[in-house]
Chain A
Amino acid sequence: MSQANQGIKAIFKQREALLAVLVVVMIGLVGLRAPVFVSPTSLANLLTDSTLLVMLALTQMFVIVTRGIDLSVASNLALSGMMAALLASKHPELPLAVVLLVAVAIGLLLGLINGWMIGYLELPPIVVTLGTMSVYRGLVFVLSGGAWVSSHQMPADFVAFPLGRLLGITHLVWIAAIVIALMWYLARYTRFGRDLYAIGNEPASARYVGIDSARRLFWTYGLSGAMAGLCGYLWVARYAVAYTEIAYGFEFTVIAACVIGGISIAGGSGTVAGAVLGSLFLAVINNALPIMKVSPFWQSALTGIIILTAVLINARGNSKGSRQILPLHLVNPSSSRSAA
């Protein structure tokens, strides 16, 4: 074994590097079949299409790192998006920044409701967010009266913003880039971020060393909610329509992106790069299928197979040091092996 070989092996042991290579290889392969896929415009579209998923996956990552799960993101996104759309259509004179802030604030509030119940009342995250998911989705209907808000009701700048360009790059991509940088900083260099990993690794120890878990969880779900609010506005403006079912079922896509990115549902481990690459992976597949002339009906089935494959690979990768899993599971692979 030469030194270089070892080095390469070490890199491939890292899930993120492997995933990055996979994404590139996949783009390359699709490009071989259909050269139009690797044209700059097509790649730029791909990037723009992936942004919402990337941003939501990042905050979902923090939630999962704390051994939680946020099923309510898609409903939260729909509710804050709908409220932003209604606000903009009723008061076209409001500056865009205000609408955007309102959307984020609503999302934050909805997220903090989750956070209060999970952090301070110590209720299981999966049940709480399952409940708020239905409530928020129902509220979208109540607010809108079941009607659509379509593009001609929204002010022009409201609709134009996400796909507007700065230095030739869409605003969506700029926003996503800023979010990625912020989250990376948050995860690696702030006390808040490090505390979340501590909580996810060993909640009891985290309490012993004096981490205020309740407050941390409160704000983690708040962060997830605020991001859903931001994406709510961006989603509604990007597709220029708001209705009750927007982003229906998107929570599972977000969680899938995290799982593919190697973020352990058991909590305590996961990186920003993983979340971003996991989202990109899904986005590449979704954009490549139509170009490869694969029936769009295959998309869901393929996504399922990919998620399962990713989970299986990840399970092998950390068969030694894996730890507890959500509140639903207490057996880790090593102990169940030794018990069997």
Chain B
Amino acid sequence: MNSSTATAAIDSTGSAKTSRYTIVDRPAFKLKSLLGRWETLLALLFVVVFIINSIVLPNFLDLYNLADGTFNFSEKALIALPMALLIICREIDISVAGILALCSVAMGLAHAHGMPPHGLVVVALATGTVCGWLNGFLVTRFALPSIVVTIGTVSLFRGLASVVLGDQAFTGYPKLMVDWGQGYFFGIIPREFVVLLVFAGVFAVILHTTTWGRRIYAIGNNPVAARFSGISVDRYRLVLFMITGAMAGLAAFLLTGRIGSTRPNIAMGWELEIITMVILGGVSIAGGAGTIGGVMLAVMTLGIVTYGLALANIPGIIMTIVVGILLLITIALPRLMRGKKTAK
């Protein structure tokens, strides 16, 4: 059963086995290739920003401040994780902020009708999953481009949310939600951040160590080939959309608990911030490449930049310029370094 020897990377020297060849599962470790990785660059950027901030801003290194600084990205990052999987799979979901709004409204309704606090999590997750299923169903069943479908569903979801809300707002959420939205573990680590780290771990394991993860990469690299090699491409897509919806529901639970109310403009414009996080994290918009580690590094880097700007009293909208420019440089730099175009 040594069929593997036929096509092999060659390493004939010291192997004690019968075969003259061994197959190297992964490329040998090289410092140069490690340094060239996008994640390494991001980590360097993170360190640089961190050092600059701690020198320039006197209160930056205050532990309580730093911990509180995680609040402004935890919910977005929770959605960025499944979004990374979707984009690796060559799909995209513009409707996440709409799903979040609708989940928040669903929780508000359920709460107003006397649903116990623990049930609200279920309501949010269920609403999100249903919304995600609708996206996935339209994309897979009718072979529609996901960008068009989700541009449609974002109006639908946000519209339904505003129909229910009208000019009102839901407030007075139970203590459980406030605890999870604003609370801390051990009095210092925000619970939201812990939730984020746990999910980042889960997603990293799924994407990088399981068959499912490898198949997601396979689909992203070549959906047709993936289908022919027996991967149920459409089922993966559908499930990924549903997971994205569910995570948006979870984010809705945390965000609603944190700000304590549901208003029509909740999470407005988040879809683009989330997609920016993912792309900045090195996930290729063409699909098939990217890591959860990269996304988390991008999230953290953006997080401390925002936090630093906030400490320096710079308005949040300046942040959008910084993020936009970062995004453009991110994608333009590798292209510019490769030099002049080679016409295909």
Footprint of B on A, CB under 8 Å?
69, 71, 117, 120-124, 126-128, 130-135, 137-139, 141-142, 146, 204, 207, 214, 244, 248-249, 252, 255-256, 259, 265-266, 295, 297-305, 307-308, 311-312, 315, 325-333, 335-337, 339-340
Task: State the CA gap A101–B339 with chains docked (Å).
Answer: 36
* A27–chain B nearest beta-carbon distance, Å: 22
With beta carbons under 8 angstroms apart, the residue of A69, A134, A146 that contacts B324 is A134
User: Does B201 sit within 8 A of A, measured CB to CB?
Assistant: no
Footprint of A on B, CB under 8 Å?
90-92, 94, 138, 142-149, 151-160, 162-163, 165-166, 222-224, 227-228, 233-234, 269, 272, 275-276, 279, 285-287, 315, 317-321, 323-325, 327-328, 331-332, 335-336, 341, 343-344
* B266–chain A nearest beta-carbon distance, Å: 14
Q: Is the CB of A295 within 8 A of B91?
A: no
Interchain residue pairs with CB less than 8 A apart (6): A130-B276, A130-B327, A138-B324, A141-B315, A259-B151, A312-B142
Interface of B is mostly: helix
In the complex, what residues of B have CB within 8 A of residue A138's CB? 317-321, 324
With beta carbons under 8 angstroms apart, the residue of B157, B318, B331 that contacts A141 is B318
In the complex, what residues of B have CB within 8 A of residue A121's CB? 332, 335-336
Q: Is the CB of A308 within 8 A of B336?
A: no
Q: Is the CB of A244 within 8 A of B317?
A: yes
* B94–chain A nearest beta-carbon distance, Å: 8
Task: State the CA gap A122–B331 with chains docked (Å).
Answer: 10
Task: State the CA gap A127–B328 with chains docked (Å).
Answer: 8
Q: Is the CB of B155 within 8 A of A265?
A: no
* B169–chain A nearest beta-carbon distance, Å: 13
In the complex, what residues of A have CB within 8 A of residue B158's CB? 300-301, 304
* B89–chain A nearest beta-carbon distance, Å: 10
Task: State the CA gap A299–B163 with chains docked (Å).
Answer: 9
Task: State the CA gap A36–B81 with chains docked (Å).
Answer: 51
Ranked 3 nearest A-B pairs via Cβ: A301-B159, A304-B156, A300-B159
Task: State the CA gap A266–B92 with chains docked (Å).
Answer: 15
In the complex, what residues of A have CB within 8 A of residue B327's CB? 127, 130-131, 134
In the complex, besides A131-B325, A133-B272, A265-B147, 15 extra interface pairs with C-beta distance below 8 angstroms are A69-B147, A122-B335, A130-B276, A130-B279, A134-B327, A138-B318, A297-B163, A307-B152, A308-B149, A311-B138, A315-B142, A328-B90, A328-B146, A329-B91, A331-B224
With beta carbons under 8 angstroms apart, the residue of A259, A301, A339 that contacts B160 is A301
Closest residue of A by beta carbon distance from B155: A304
Q: Is the CB of A328 within 8 A of B155?
A: no
Closest residue of B by beta carbon distance from A329: B145
Task: State the CA gap A133–B328 with chains docked (Å).
Answer: 11
Q: Is the CB of A252 within 8 A of B151?
A: yes
Q: Is the CB of A303 within 8 A of B143?
A: no
Closest residue of B by beta carbon distance from A322: B143
Closest residue of A by beta carbon distance from B139: A329
With beta carbons under 8 angstroms apart, the residue of B147, B157, B227 that contacts A328 is B147
Q: Is the CB of A301 within 8 A of B155?
A: yes
Q: Is the CB of B331 within 8 A of A123?
A: yes
Q: Is the CB of B156 within 8 A of A308?
A: yes
Task: State the CA gap A121–B179 with chains docked (Å).
Answer: 48
Task: State the CA gap A216–B143 with chains docked (Å).
Answer: 30
In the complex, what residues of A have CB within 8 A of residue B162's CB? 297, 300-301
Task: State the CA gap A7–B90 with chains docked (Å).
Answer: 41
In the complex, what residues of A have CB within 8 A of residue B147's CB? 69, 126, 265, 326, 328
Task: State the CA gap A311–B143 with chains docked (Å).
Answer: 11
